[in-house]
Amino acid sequence: MALAGDVGGLYWDLEQAFAASALCTVKLDLSFRRELSDDYGVAEGWIDVDGARHGIRAHAFARHAVLSGSPGVWSSQLTLTAAFGSQRAVRVRHDFPGSGALRELTVSGDVSEPLPPLTIGLDGDRYTPARIVIGDDTLVCEPHTRMAITRPLPPHRQARVTFGAARFIRNGEAGFGFYEYARALV
């Protein structure tokens, strides 16, 4: 069972969102087949929502991308994971101050390189990215959905984290995936 609503933005106020949502039955059957690596391949199957079945076939990661960050205290942090079909996937991690890495999965293997300079264009506030550009138009991230939460950080710190689905462009090739952008508050 799940709650379904037409306007996801209502979930900032749970009581309002619950009142505007309907209870529905959801069934899901997915399988994962590895392709470029143990954790990148194809997710395939179906989802059934209140009797309406939809097929699913998408390039996917089997687990969250955990890339090494700086061990010190950071003021902002960025993580991206993007699929560009069966032949290419990209993962990015950057801590500021600190360093970052760009990892690319291709049929030739898994290559990691230092992160080129990046620019984060913010959308109306200093926590929500509207566009992220890495290198000379090497990788562009255009967030399509946004959710913001507050996450505790050691020692006695907090960060505002914005994450969601995004469209990516890498050297003219379009792909899709997820981004997470965090800024320390205290």
Condensed to tens digits (0 to 9), the pLDDT of residues 32-72 reads 998 888 888 899 999 999 999 999 999 988 876 554 444 45
Per-residue model confidence (pLDDT) at position 67: 47
Q: Are 54 and 38 in contact (CB under 8 A)?
A: no
Helix (H, G, I), strand (E, B) or coil at 87: helix
β partners of residue 170? 139, 173
Predicted structure pTM score: 0.78
Mean pLDDT of the chain: 83
pLDDT value for 12: 64
CATH fold, domain 76-184, is: AttH-like fold (2.40.370)
**Among 93-97, 121-125, 147-151, 177-181, which range has the highest average pLDDT?**
177-181
Say if CB 149 and CB 156 are below 8 A apart: no
Handedness of CA 51, 55, 58, 64 (dihedral sign): positive
CATH 2.40.370 segments of the chain: 76-184
What stretches of the chain show up as alpha helix (H) in DSSP?
14-20
pLDDT at 22: 85
pLDDT(18) > 60: yes
Classified as helix, coil or strand, 73 is: coil
Instruction: Look at 31 and 138; give whichever has higher pLDDT.
Output: 31
Tens digits of residue pLDDT in 95-143: 887 778 888 888 888 888 888 888 888 877 777 788 888 887 678 888 8
Q: Tell me the pLDDT band of 9, cut-offs 50, 70 and 90.
A: low
Q: Give residue for tokens 């991690």.
A: 93
Q: Which residues contact 145 (CB under 8 A, 6 or more apart)?
A: 8, 164, 165, 166
Instruction: Give the pLDDT score at 57.
Output: 94
